[in-house]
Amino acid sequence: MTAGTALRRVAARSSQAFLGAFVPARTAAWPDASHLFVVGDEFGWSIDDDAARLSATALRLGYDVAPSAWARFARRQAVFHPDHFGALRPRWLESSHRLALSYFHGRPGTPGYPEFDEAFEALRRHAARIDRVQVTHDEMHEVVLAAGVEPEKVFRIPIGVDLARFPLAGKDERARAREALGLPESAFVVGSFQKDGVGLGEGLQPKLVKGPDLLVATLEWLHASVPELVVLLTGLARGYVRTELERRAIPHRHVFLGSRTELSRAYAALDVYLVASRQEGGPKGVLESMASGVPLVATRVGQAPDVVVDGENGLLANVDDVEALVTAVQRVHDDAKLRSRLRGPGRATAEAYADERLDGRWAELLDGFVRRAD
Residue-wise pLDDT for 235-257, tens only, equals 889 999 999 999 999 999 999 88
- Is the domain of 57 the same as that of 75? yes
CA dist list (Å): 247 to 227, 250, 252: 17, 8, 12
Residue 310, pLDDT above cutoff 70: yes
Q: Are residues 8 and 116 in the same domain?
A: yes
Whether residues 190 and 330 share a domain: the answer is yes
In terms of Cα–Cα distance, which of 235, 249, 246 is closest to 203?
235
CB-CB contact of 170 with 178 (8 Å): no
User: Please, are residues 364 and 155 in contact by the beta-carbon 8 Å criterion?
Assistant: yes
Q: Is 165 part of a structural domain of the chain?
A: no
Q: Are residues 197 and 304 in the same domain?
A: yes
In a domain, 282, yes or no: yes
Q: Hey, what amino acid is at 196? A: D
Q: Phi/psi at 197 (nearest 5 deg)? A: -115, 160
Domain with 136 in it: what CATH number?
3.40.50
d(CA 15, CA 51): 21
Residues 104 and 230 in one domain: no
**Residue 12: which pLDDT band, with cuts at 50, 70 and 90?**
low
Does 313 lie in the same domain as 184? Answer: yes
Over 70: is that where the pLDDT of 301 sits?
yes
Q: Is residue 201 part of a domain?
A: yes
- Do 211 and 68 lie in one domain? The reply is no
Residue 371 lies in a domain: no
**Same domain (yes/no): 9, 153:** yes
How far is residue 274's CA from residue 296's CA, in Å, rounded to a whole number? 6
Rounded CA gap, 38 and 65, in Å? 8
pTM of the entire structure? 0.94
* pLDDT surpassing 50 at residue 123: yes
Which pLDDT score, from 0 to 100, does residue 329 have?
98
The CA radius of gyration of the chain, in Å to the nearest whole number, is 22
| CB half-sphere exposure, 343, CA atoms < 13 A | 18
For the chain, give the percent of residues with pLDDT over 90: 89
Residue 319: its pLDDT value, please? 98
Same domain assignment for residues 179 and 294: yes
Domain residues for the domain of 315 are 171-353
Please give the residue that has the higher pLDDT: either 269 or 21.
Answer: 269
Dihedral of CA 105/83/116/211: which sign?
Answer: positive
Average pLDDT, the chain: 95
Diameter over CA atoms, the chain: 67
Asked whether 188 and 229 are in contact (CB, 8 A), the reply is yes
Claim to verify: residue 13 and residue 27 sit in the same structural domain: yes
Q: Are residues 259 and 284 in the same domain?
A: yes
pLDDT in tens, 148-179: 999 999 999 999 999 999 999 999 999 999 99
Are residues 35 and 19 part of one domain? yes
Please tell me the total count of domains within the chain.
2
Q: What is the CATH number of the domain that holds 206?
A: 3.40.50.2000
Residue 135 in any domain: the answer is yes
Question: Is 303 inside any structural domain?
Answer: yes
- Domain-located, residue 139: yes
Q: Does residue 374 sit within a domain?
A: no
Q: What is the mean pLDDT of residues 62-71?
A: 97
